[in-house]
Every structure is written in C-alpha cells, then in structure tokens.
Amino acid sequence: MRIGSILENQAFEKRISVTPEIVKKYTSLGFEILLSENYGLHLGIKDEQYIELGAKISKDEIEVLNSSDIIVQLGILTDDKISNIRENQTLIGVLNPYENREKLQSLAKKKINLFSLELLPRITRAQSMDILSSQANLAGYKAVIESFANFEKAIPMMMTAAGTVPAAKVLVVGAGVAGLQAIATAKRMGAIVFATDVRMASKEQVESLGGKFLSVEGSENLETEGGYAKEASDDFKKKQEELLSETLKKIDIVICTALIPGKKAPLIIKENMVNNMQAGSVIYDLAAIQGGNTAFTEVDKIVVNNGVRIMGESNILNKLPISASSLYAKNLFNFVDNLFDKENKKININLEDEIIEKTLIK
C-alpha cells in the first residue's frame, strides 16, 4: 500500500505530515511513501534525504493524490485537489468537520474514508495519536515567548545596587494542555503565575507547576466526559467576570487559551477589563482564529488599546514548524499503525475500536 502527501498551502501552513524519521517507520510496516517535489525544502529537508530512506518523489501533485491508498495531510485539501481523489481512498488529517461539513459530506459520498484527528477520544490508548495535545503544548510555550518578547520590562525579579525590578505577573486563562505549558514556561522564566479555568480538576495541575489557581466562589465543575471544557452558566460567567476584572488590574501579561471544540471561542476579557489594565501590559490570544477570548482580538494583528497590546495569530505553529511537524508526523504514524491490518496488508475500519469510530466522518 502507498501513503502519499503533498505540500500544504504555504501561505497558511508550514507544517508537514511526513518527516524523514517517520519514513523508516512506514516502510517497516510495508508501506511505500510518495511525496510531492520539495516537500520539506522550506524546513531545510532536501528531497534526497527522503529518497535515501526509501521514499519516492513526484513532480506532479495530482499523481501523488491519484496513486496513494492513504493520503496524510494537515488541513483539508483545496477543491481542485479534492477532485482528484478516487473512490475507496483514505484521507487523514485535521479536517475540521464543523467548518467543512459540506465538503466532507461530498467526499464521503464518493466512498472516501475520512478520518479527522481532532476528534480523537481522550483515552489512554489514544495519547500517542493526540494531535491536539502535541500541538497545543508547543502553542502554549510559543505564546509565552512571543508575549514576553513584546513586553518592555524584565520578566524575573532582579535585585541590583540601583534597586529591585519586580517579577512580571502572568495570568493564564484556560488550563488545558496549552495553558499548562504556558504556566510552566512562564514560571521557568521567573514570572509570578496565576491561572483560571472552568474545570476544577485543573486546580491541582496548576498548583503542581507553581501557579496560583483563581477559582470562582461556589463554582461548578464545567468539564465534559471527554475532558474538555463546556459552556458556563450565566451566573458562573458573572462571578468569573468580577474576579477577572479585579485580577487584571495587577497583571502584566495574559495568555488566553480557552476554547470549546466546534464553537466560537468564549469572550472572557471584555472591553472594560482591558481598559482597566496597566499600560504596557500584553495579551496573547491563542483563541484568535476561533473569534478570540478578548473583545479586541484581531487575527494576525497587534491591536493596541489604552496602552495594552493584544496579539493573536492564525497559526502560531508556523513559528515552530520543525518541532510541530515532528510531533504531528509521529501522531499520524501511530494512528495509521492502529488502522492498518498488518496480517492482510490493508486498512481495517473496525468500528468497535473507539479511536476509529470517533474519528471516522460518516
């Protein structure tokens, strides 16, 4: 069987789905690898590196798509590329079924097997395939680095003969994978870190990393069975708003990571809260692409409001494409390994397997 992959649209996505180290793993399972020309060149990976490991390179992207049994990508393919996918092929990636519903339904009608990896269940067996965790981990780290680079004061406390520079105060909104990594990174760099989350189970994790957990008095635990955050009640939102309003007056840097899968990002930091923050403060909004957690977030822009900088990028992982590609490619391989019937050398869509059942778009 053949696994193929072509370059993503470089204007939006610099990550790749097949790295040289993963080629060996696929070939050991008996797969043939076919990639488009200059597949990893923008990351410093020459075609020769892939060829030496047994992969084949094609100048024709259509040939790659047509002759592959399994196509692995990051995002969904463009319409002109989709028209070249034939029946009974398998497409695996981050297909975003909430936004691409019609496109995916038309592909499913062509009897194409579609697997969207952001739908993976949060179970122990799926951890090695969990692309949301691997990518969010890097995003949380990079958001701290980017916000610190735009903050015009020192981060750690510094005691000098001329006086003491106080440590920066950081607030992390949302203590999921990205949030926890943001807490750990900010703490390592000497900041005083606070965090808030609607899931009470996060309190212990935040405190284990040296952060102070801010909880709404009498709050409910807003966590789904799958481990994700769910929508808060109006009463909870009001109490959280009051707590945040007071806290933000003393905060230097805010990292926003609050997302609800498949929905617009919750608006957590309102206009009046930003207006009451200290001039020179920085907000980095990782939820920008889904509408943002602040009232002023604009995708791929730095908005300055009342002296506060609000930052949000469409794809922060384009700033860490080598590390992000390495982790994503490993997640993909582990998923394919679970999907592949090694004895009969074919894809086995076993709907009794929760991983396959949850990720398959029907």
> What burial class does residue 270 get, using C-beta atoms within 10 Å of its C-beta: 0-12 exposed, 13-18 middle, 19+ buried?
middle
Per-residue model confidence (pLDDT) at position 219: 55
The active-site residue, picked from 106, 127, 208, 233, is 127
pLDDT at 208 (0 to 100)? 96
What pLDDT is stored for residue 224 in this prediction?
57
In angstroms, the CA 71 to CA 3 distance is 6
- What's the rounded Cα separation, in Å, for the pair 186 and 246? 21
Other C-beta atoms lying within 10 Å of the C-beta of residue 41: 11
The reply to whether 130 belongs to the active site is yes
Specify the pLDDT at position 359. Answer: 95
DSSP per-residue string spanning 326-359? HHHHHHHHHHHHHHEETTTTEE---TTSHHHHHH
pTM of the predicted model over 0.85:
yes
The pLDDT score that the predictor gives to residue 321 is 97
- Helix, strand, coil % in the chain, rounded to nearest 5: 40, 20, 45
For helices 321-339 and 131-150, give the axis angle rounded to 10 degrees. 170
Which of 5, 26, 130, 197 does the annotation list as catalytic?
Answer: 130
pLDDT along the chain (362 residues), means of 10: 94 95 95 97 97 96 95 91 88 90 85 93 94 96 98 96 96 96 98 92 94 77 55 73 93 94 86 96 96 95 96 96 98 96 88 95 86
Domains 2-119+321-359 and 136-318 share a fold: yes
**DSSP string of 226-283?**
TS-B-PPPHHHHHHHHHHHHHHHTT-SEEEE----TTSPPP--B-HHHHHTSPTT-EE
Q: Which CATH class is domain 136-318?
A: alpha beta
SS3 109: helix
Tokens of 172: 């992390």
Q: Which of 126, 136, 225 is nearest to 174 (CA)?
A: 136
Helix (H, G, I), strand (E, B) or coil at 196: strand
- The whole-number pLDDT of residue 218 equals 56
Phi, psi dihedral angles at 218 (to 5 degrees) = 70, 25
pLDDT attached to residue 106: 83
Q: Which is catalytic among the residues 73, 133, 135, 325? A: 133
**Residues 296, 303 contacting (CB under 8 angstroms):** yes
**Largest pairwise CA distance in the chain:** 74
- Check residue 220 and give its pLDDT: 56
Does 89 participate in catalysis according to the annotation?
no
Residue 122 is a catalytic residue: yes
Domain 2-119+321-359 CATH (choose: 1.10.510.10, 3.40.190.10, 3.40.50.720, 3.50.30.30): 3.40.50.720
In the annotation, is 240 catalytic? no
- How far apart are alpha carbons 138 and 321 in whole angstroms? 10
Q: Which two structure tokens, joined as six digits, stand for 197?
A: 């989350």
Do 174 and 211 contact (CB within 8 A), yes or no? no
Confirm whether 125 is a catalytic residue: no
Identified catalytic residue from 67, 128, 228, 245:
228
Domain chopping of the chain, boundaries = 2-119+321-359, 136-318
